[in-house]
Amino acid sequence: MAKRPELDDFRVPYFDGKKSKFSLDDFDPAAKPFSTGSKDSDRERLSEIGAELDVFQECLHAQRKRRVLLVLQGMDTSGKDGTIRAVFHEVDPLGLRIAPFKAPTPDELAHDFLWRVHAQAPAAGELTIFNRSHYEDLLVPTVLGSIDARAFDVRCRHIRQFEELLSDSETAIIKCMLHISKEEQRERLQARIDDQTKHWKFDVSDLDARKQWDKYLSVYGDALAATSTEYAPWYVIPADSKTHRNLMVAELLLRTFRELKLEFPPAKESLKGVKVE
């Protein structure tokens, strides 16, 4: 009997100070290891998780002690927006915040690369989702050649230190690499071009990045290997199937919240026996 997959089978090995042989080529973007059997049953399971996440999120916000950060990275069309819509559509928006990261502004470029990111880190009682993240300032400059191998290593070290600071400040960090195949990306980009209502989501720069597909995946592999730690692990999420992608991210979040062992604040004695007239 085949071994049942575990979430940690898709965790990137923790950085140990040495260059890792980790490669995204070892993961099949079309795999559905956590599927419950069909799209309908996957959606049903996702709804069940959503109900649990809603309770955990309310407890997190009421307690205002812990913080949760979900980082979503991936190539264009890998489904960062879609994941957020699907996983959190049943979660109370109170205490939930989405922080999207675009190309740095001139003011942001005048500071260190983590300056704009730290300001978006979750506050006590918040679940914050980074739609893209500080990793853009590691990946894109490396692929374009504006930083060299030494600068890449320095930025990786700063990222590890930054995430350790967040972890030491009671922040649980989950980082998901939405791993899509080149063919699936081609189909999704073409669908955007063919549908006029989706043109706003398409940018010709997406095609430029696609031309450097192999280089991006290579740099992604190096970045994930150098920044996956016990306090801020990376997980590779097969993303060719949208429903499976959503389900796996939700399962990771659910496990994280359960491990936090959150509780609602104690009842107020002053409210005992109070009747509203």
Q: Is residue 87 part of a domain?
A: yes
Q: Is residue 270 part of a domain?
A: no
Q: Is residue 195 part of a domain?
A: yes
**CATH number, domain containing residue 69:** 3.40.50.300
Task: Return the biggest CA–CA distance within the chain.
Answer: 70
Domain span including residue 137: 23-261
pTM of the model: 0.94
Q: Is residue 202 part of a domain?
A: yes
Whole-number pLDDT of residue 179: 98
Question: Cα-flanking dihedrals φ and ψ of residue 236, to 5°?
Answer: -95, 120
Q: Is residue 229 part of a domain?
A: yes
Whole-number pLDDT of residue 93: 86
Q: Is residue 10 part of a domain?
A: no
What is the block-wise mean pLDDT of the chain (277 residues), using blocks of 10 residues?
81 90 93 92 95 95 95 96 94 92 94 97 97 96 95 97 98 98 95 89 84 95 97 98 97 96 90 89
Q: Is residue 266 part of a domain?
A: no
Whole-number pLDDT of residue 195: 87
Three-class secondary structure assignment of 133-196: CCCHHHHHHHHHCCCCHHHHHHHHHHHHHHHHHHHHCCEEEEEEEEECCHHHHHHHHHHHHHCH
Domain total of the chain:
1
Q: Give pLDDT tens digits for 124-183.
A: 999 999 999 999 999 999 999 999 999 999 999 999 999 999 999 999 999 999 999 999
* Residue whose C-alpha is closest to residue 137's, from 112, 100, 170, 164: 112
Q: Is residue 64 part of a domain?
A: yes
d(CA 237, CA 226): 18
Whole-number pLDDT of residue 226: 97
